[in-house]
């Protein structure tokens, strides 16, 4: 068996964090650095924000259509977040994984639990924590996207979200964004090399042992 015949099934790389902890920035940088990494685009019932593009940022839909997809089994996971529903369409993810591409997810702990129930072997999970609550609030305010009431609501939600850190494979405390990006990349690289992800490896090794390779 030639080494070129070895194939790796893609993995699902989940990043979760309270809003403002740096998840989006880390995700974008990983996508820039890895050409074989693709973003899972979520479907959502929330209203489109200025500048957002349907099919690129999210698949924007109404509640009736969203429920239809759930009933038909078209969602890998879904959850209610900040009064709106979000879900991961199944087909694009399964296609990418079968082609050996890795898929990165920006989802919360509820969605991560659902993915773990159906695809644990393909799943790698990372939770990103802020260095302090004060810094988390500062980051939320510095974005200039939300009103005071929304920021207060996000901060209150953060307390519950952070209690789920122990359900994840890895944790990064995002004190320095560049260092956190580097750590996330190291995790991704290591997970890609795990033995169980390489199809045909046992045959290749047998060939090395018996001299046929």
Q: What is the pLDDT along the chain (213 residues), one digit of tens a residue?
A: 778 788 888 999 999 999 889 999 999 999 999 999 999 999 999 999 888 999 988 999 999 999 999 999 999 999 888 789 999 999 999 999 988 899 999 888 989 999 999 888 899 999 999 999 999 888 888 876 667 788 888 888 898 999 999 999 999 999 999 999 999 999 999 999 998 888 889 889 988 999 887
**Which residues, including other chains, have CB under 8 Å from residue 132's CB and lie 6 or more apart?**
none
Supply the Cα-derived Rg of the chain in whole angstroms. Answer: 19
| Pairing, β 84-89 against β 43-44 | antiparallel
**Cα torsion angle, 142, 46, 155, 28, sign:** negative
Quote the pLDDT of residue 144. Answer: 65
Please state, as a whole number, how many other Cβ atoms lie within 10 Å of the Cβ of residue 78: 23
The CATH T-level fold of domain 3-40+101-210 is Rossmann fold (3.40.50)
Cα 112 to Cα 122: distance, rounded to the nearest angstrom: 12
Q: Are 137 and 52 in contact (CB under 8 A)?
A: no
Sign of CA dihedral 182, 183, 188, 192: positive
pTM, full prediction: 0.85
Nearest of 114, 115, 154, 121 to residue 137 by alpha carbon: 154
Report CA-CA distances (Å) from 174 to 3, 25, 99: 38, 11, 32
């Amino acid at each position: 068996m030639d080494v070129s015949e070895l194939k790796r099934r893609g993995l699902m790389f989940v990043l979760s964090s309270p809003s403002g902890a740096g998840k989006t920035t880390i995700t974008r940088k990983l996508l820039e650095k890895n050409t074989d990494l693709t973003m899972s685009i979520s479907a959502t019932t929330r209203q489109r924000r200025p500048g957002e593009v349907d099919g690129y940022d999210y698949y924007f839909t109404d509640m009736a259509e969203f429920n239809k997809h759930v009933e038909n089994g078209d969602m890998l996971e879904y959850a209610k977040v900040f009064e709106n529903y979000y879900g991961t369409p199944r087909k694009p993810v399964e296609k990418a994984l079968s082609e050996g591409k890795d898929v990165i997810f920006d989802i919360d702990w509820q969605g991560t639990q659902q993915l773990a129930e159906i695809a644990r072997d393909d799943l790698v999970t990372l939770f990103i924590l802020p260095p302090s609550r004060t810094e988390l609030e500062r980051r939320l305010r510095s974005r200039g996207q939300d009103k005071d009431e929304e920021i207060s609501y996000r901060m209150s939600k953060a307390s519950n979200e952070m209690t789920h850190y122990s359900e994840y494979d890895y944790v990064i405390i995002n004190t320095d964004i560049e260092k956190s990006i580097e750590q996330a990349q190291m995790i991704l690289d290591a997970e890609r090399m795990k033995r169980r992800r390489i199809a045909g490896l046992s045959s290749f090794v047998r060939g090395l042992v018996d001299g046929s390779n």
